[in-house]
Amino acid sequence: MKPFLSTVIIVLAFCGVSSAQSKQYLKEEADDYFKVGRYWDAFFLYRDLAKIPEFQGNLSIENQIKNSSRAMYLWKKTEDYQAFRKYEIAKQHLSDLLVINPHDPNKNLLPRLTLEQASEMQRLAMSQRNPQAIADILTKAVKLYNLALDEGLKDEMVFSLIKQCENVLEKNKYSNIKQPTTYGINFEKEKDAERSRTVEIIKNL
């Protein structure tokens, strides 16, 4: 009889451990969904977890339900405002999203939005006939191109776009642009960084 009871106890204990592990696995799965930006899946999984007795009243789960819902909203607004070329508002929504989830896979979109905004400003400037308007708008475009670089954009095309703007500004009497231009400064910085990386690679060979 005793061996039988021992076996039952062991089985029940094993089932309890397996159940706890299974629930913890679901929690980790929800966290992974959230981290990679699958907020819809994360939201429903967190909501299901909140119904399990072990997780009822768990503040972490409740907060993640709210965060998942808000993250879905913020990403949708980011896409909508980008489509409407409302770049500043789109960037604000994306920035708010990155506060909730710094690992969001779309985090590299931030400098791309700035680049799109700068390109639009450059096109707008070229459509103007008033020299002062051209100077004002192109100056803003150059600042935005530099901001995109500061935000981490890795695209040598940006240096060429800055150069295009500054070539026009240098000939505009309403512009106070002076040498060296931001293009020259940023281009040299990039080249210096590239040379440093090359030297470091050679040293490690």
The pLDDT value recorded for residue 12 is 39
- The predicted structure's pLDDT at residue 174: 83
φ/ψ of 26, rounded to 5, equals -65, -40
Kindly write down the DSSP assignment for every residue of 30-89, as one continuous string: HHHHHHTT-HHHHHHHHHHHTTSGGGTT-HHHHHHHHHHHHHHHHHHHHHHHHHTT-HHH
C-alpha to C-alpha distance for 160 and 167, rounded to whole angstroms: 10
Residues 6+ apart with CB under 8 A from 13: none
Handedness of CA 71, 75, 80, 85 (dihedral sign): positive
pLDDT recorded at residue 135: 94
> Which one, of 146, 184, 178, lies nearest residue 163 by Cα?
184
Give the contacts of 64 (CB within 8 A, at least 6 positions apart): 30, 31, 34, 42, 46
What is the C-alpha to C-alpha distance for residues 140 and 120, in angstroms, rounded to an integer?
Answer: 11
pLDDT at 15: 43
Tens digit of pLDDT per residue, the chain (205 long)? 445 444 433 333 344 445 566 778 889 999 999 999 999 999 999 999 999 988 888 899 999 999 999 999 999 999 999 999 999 999 999 999 999 999 999 999 999 999 999 999 999 999 999 999 999 999 999 999 999 999 999 888 999 999 999 999 998 888 877 655 665 555 555 555 555 555 455 555 5
List the domain boundaries for the chain: 26-107, 110-205
pTM recorded for the entire structure: 0.74
Question: Which sign, positive or negative, has the C-alpha torsion 99, 155, 115, 79?
Answer: negative
DSSP state of 103: T
- Residues 32-35: contacts with CB under 8 Å, at least 24 apart: 34/64, 34/67, 34/68, 34/71, 34/101, 35/101, 35/103
